[in-house]
Amino acid sequence: MSDTQWTDVGTVEALKQKSLQEVNCGTRSPSLISTFVTSGICNHVGGPLGTGTLDDYVVCPWHYLGKFHRETGARRGGI
């Protein structure tokens, strides 16, 4: 028996409308970035990454210190 749990977060067409957005998956609020999902919580002091900006990096909107590569998730800069 699998422990996998699936949550419907919307249609592909709706999710394609924004390249960076928050989706609700129950107790967490991950960010959806193009076609992959990562934590939506900045590890500085918990800013909402899904409402930040996106180019090569997702940038946290609270203090602009949390910068995470859009494909690898690697952090840039120090926090």
**Residues at the contact surface with ligand FES, assessed by CB under 6 A:** 42, 44-47, 60, 62-63, 65-66
Complex with ligand FES: residue 14 or 53, whichever CB lies closer: 53
Complex with ligand FES: residue 15 or 43, whichever CB lies closer: 43
State the nearest-atom distance from the C-beta of 48 to ligand FES, in Å: 8
Concatenated DSSP letters for 12-77? HHHHTT-SEEE---SS---EEETTEEE--B-TTT--BGGGSEESSEEE-TTTS--EEETTT--EES
State the nearest-atom distance from the C-beta of 1 to ligand FES, in Å: 38
